[in-house]
Amino acid sequence: MSRTGRIAGAAAVVVVAAAAVGYYAWQPAIAPLDSPPPISEDRALLAQGARLAELGDCMHCHTAQDGKPYAGGLPLNTPFGTIYSTNITPDVDTGIGAWSQEAFARAMRRGVARDGSLLYPAFPYVHFTRVTDDDIAALYAYLMARRPVHAPAPANELTFPLNFRPLVAGWNLLFLDAGELPAPAKAQSKDWLRGRYLVEGLGHCASCHTPMNALGAEKSGQPYAGGLIDGWEAPPLNALTRARRPWTHEQLTSYLHTGLATEHGAAAGPMLPVTQHLANVPLSDVQAMATYLMSMQPEPQASPPPTPPAAPPPAPPGTPAADDAQRMERGAATFNASCASCHGASAPMHTVGGRPLLELSTALNADSPRNAIQLVLSGNPWTGSASAHYMPPFAATLTDEQIADVLAYTRVQYAQRPAWKNIAGSVAAIRKENPQP
């Protein structure tokens, strides 16, 4: 977002917040507990809470790199500055140990902390408001059974005046639709209803997969149309049947539960930890989520498979066409040296690990090169025996020009689509976005 856009957005928040004074600006504190409640001995309740924490990806967002689980401190980069996740262990001083279940439920549903301060909507309470009383009770019991960790959250680094919490009141007035999900317009299966509850509630999928407006809220009328998160594109979830090979319910279930869809790709970037946590929930819940997501798809379009671009006639030296031909030659050489052992046509990874073919890769077929560039720069971390997910990072071994060359080559040679425009400039820009080691 541009500086002008941020200023305009901030001004709009100020106006709306002023109108909300006396209505939602600041909520009363809820009396603190003297000590955390006794740990529940209801094993079924704790198991339910553990599943819900996995569905909500709670540990990932509330755990700093190399930090203790649920102790907070993870930086969340927003267009308005950096917000640090809070400690949700039962530590009385720095966590939620002094929170009653009532206080916890209010934070989940209305974005109001125990002391009455307003939480920033980077915490997706606009989705958690859909969670039922029983599930909130189970999640509360599970978190209160964690090991307490004394870990104060770092101070947020937000631009003025957005660092003034009461302004969130105006945002809530505009964008928080508190309460459970309304009844569907027509009768639906139990699987669909369960999937909608998980996707729209704890799963909060729209938080990443919906474009944001100038105030940092999901754009109305464009649910699941794609977004941008942590430098990666979150692809549209309402166009899965328009992929190079249309997604099926089985492929989407596999991707969500294992992080791998053999006809589309492996989870990477911000999506990787989501699939790692979904691997720990019942398969029936993941299947229900896939059922709901597939129900929002358009009918697949019948279109002929792409054909390789026709070989152009030899171009005079020094012309753009000649430069493109040289880039393709360099890209082929870089591919054979650095990529072919895993991605080549006869690479054993295709038969041993089920690695998706490059021609079907979602990243390589996307209109934007962003995710393909991020994959080459950052790779995909090793996850034990899941060799099909692994890809080494090349940020330190390939130059921007070499990455641009190899992506232009694979885009044309494998995806059979024209090379992205200004690919070298995109590589350089995205490399600068990434934190340096």
67-76, Cβ contacts within 8 angstroms, sequence gap of 24 or more: 67/151, 68/147, 68/149, 68/151, 69/146, 70/143, 70/146, 70/149, 71/95, 71/149, 71/151, 72/151, 72/153, 73/151, 73/153, 73/154, 75/154, 76/122
Indicate the DSSP class of residue 258: H
* Cα distances (angstroms) measured from residue 380 to each of 266, 272, 429: 9, 9, 20
* Strand pairing report for 81-84 and 265-266: unpaired
Residue for token pair 């993941």: 286
pLDDT digits (tens, 9 = 90+) for 132-177: 999 999 999 999 999 999 999 899 998 877 777 888 999 999 999 9
pLDDT of residue 18: 53
The span from the CA of 70 to the CA of 147, in Å, is 9
pLDDT of residue 348: 74
Q: Give the Cβ contact number of residue 123 at 10 Å.
A: 20
Per-residue pLDDT at 5 exceeds 50: no
Of the ranges 6-15, 106-115, 165-174, 414-423, which one carries the lowest mean pLDDT score? 6-15
Indicate the DSSP class of residue 98: T
CB 186 within 8 A of CB 43: no
Q: Is the peptide bond before 282 cis (omega within 30 degrees of 0)?
A: no
Please name which of 348, 361, 356 lies closest in space to residue 407, comparing C-alpha atoms.
361
Three-state secondary structure call for residue 282 = coil
The span from the CA of 353 to the CA of 342, in Å, is 10
Please name which of 200, 96, 205 lies closest in space to residue 153, comparing C-alpha atoms.
96
Band the pLDDT of 395: cuts 50, 70, 90: very high
pLDDT of residue 312: 54
Q: Which domains are seen in the chain, by residue range?
A: 3-175 (no CATH), 203-294 (no CATH), 320-433 (1.10.760.10)
pLDDT of residue 94: 97
The span from the CA of 355 to the CA of 386, in Å, is 10
Mean pLDDT of the chain: 88
pLDDT digits (tens, 9 = 90+) for 210-261: 999 988 999 999 999 999 999 999 999 999 999 989 999 999 999 999 999 9
pLDDT of residue 78: 84
Per-residue pLDDT at 437 exceeds 60: no
CB 204 within 8 A of CB 198: no
Per-residue pLDDT at 309 exceeds 70: no
Per-residue pLDDT at 1 exceeds 50: no
Band the pLDDT of 417: cuts 50, 70, 90: very high
pLDDT digits (tens, 9 = 90+) for 48-89: 999 999 999 999 999 999 999 999 999 998 888 899 999 999
pLDDT of residue 299: 75
pLDDT of residue 105: 98
The tally of CA atoms less than 13 A away on the side-chain side of residue 293 is 30
pLDDT digits (tens, 9 = 90+) for 266-303: 999 999 999 999 999 999 999 999 999 999 998 766 55
Per-residue pLDDT at 207 exceeds 50: yes
Alpha-carbon torsion, ordered 256, 208, 428, 411, to 10 deg: 50
pLDDT of residue 300: 61
CB 141 within 8 A of CB 42: yes
pLDDT of residue 322: 58
pLDDT of residue 159: 82
Return the sign of the alpha-carbon dihedral for residues 168, 170, 175, 180: positive
